[in-house]
Amino acid sequence: MTSTELTPESVPRTQGMPMLGLGTWENEDPDQCAESVLTALETGYRHIDTAQAYGNEGAVGDGIAAADVDRDEIFLATKVWISNLDYEDVLETTQESLDRLGTDYLDLLYVHWPSRTYEPGSTLEAFDELYEEGTIRNIGVSNFEPRHIDEAREHLDAPIFANQVETHPMLQQRELREYGREHDIEIVAYSPLARGDVFEIDVLSEIAEKHGVSEAQVSLAWLRENDVTAIPKATSEAHIQDNWESLTLELDEADLRQIDSIDRTRRKVDPGFAPW
């Protein structure tokens, strides 16, 4: 398959979620953010990820509104910030997110971190309520370790659909991926390009040269081969297109073994309130 043959329908999906999406973390300029969302949707992306903390839900909504794509074709996700996780705050701020995004439902709503005002009983009661009334179609968690997910599952009536965590060849998250397989929880990778560090790894550069592609495409293809959904941030048309073309890359067994054997840990997101 060539890049010109790629269509929204050719993007692999897992439980209805497109396995390549557009991340918008730190895409803070409203015009640029809206334009990048529009460009991604026009390219063929159908998975858009944002968060209350990013301060760009309004711009994301503007980009979606500008695109000639029906809302029901877009898998739209946002996250409730750690200061808004009390029961009433979840309900109130989720409605505010919906208003900014210009939609009446979300395909996926995450608990952004198990921190600050997060309390499993009251926080997840609100998520269950939003799920039951159809305001959100799936419940997600982000930056959760297995012990946090075990605890959350005890409080939720609805299933946990996804755990969004930093994942890339230098932070392979084997334990969380295995946990996800065991409990039917999708892994969604943020910072799947290690914030640019994938371009500095010799193994990835060698594989990229072998296939005539970028290191970014190699990282995204490796994630996909491991059943991980990636949401790389991109603002320029060139980077949005390059990430999109990763869908045409098929890594062979030797490639996968080489990447699996990368023996380093390079976590790029590590705030003081992180649970690890």
- Give Cα separations from 245 to 4, 6, 10, 65 (angstroms): 9, 8, 11, 25
- Assess whether 54 carries a catalytic annotation: yes
* Alpha helical stretches, state H, the chain: 30-43, 57-66, 87-101, 120-132, 146-155, 174-183, 202-211, 215-225, 237-244, 253-260
Q: CA–CA separation, 43 vs 38, rounded Å?
A: 9
Inter-helix orientation angle 215-225/202-211, to 10°: 90
Q: CA–CA separation, 159 vs 169, rounded Å?
A: 28
Closest Cα partner for 239 from 79, 22, 11?
22
Q: CA–CA separation, 75 vs 64, rounded Å?
A: 11
**DSSP letter for each residue of 107-144:** SEEEE--S-TT--HHHHHHHHHHHHHTTSBS-EEEES-
Residue 35 near residue 93 (C-beta atoms within 8 A): no
Q: What is the DSSP letter of 106?
A: B
Residue 246 near residue 211 (C-beta atoms within 8 A): no
Amino acid at 106: L
Active-site choice (54, 131, 179, 190): 54
Q: Which residues are catalytic?
A: 54
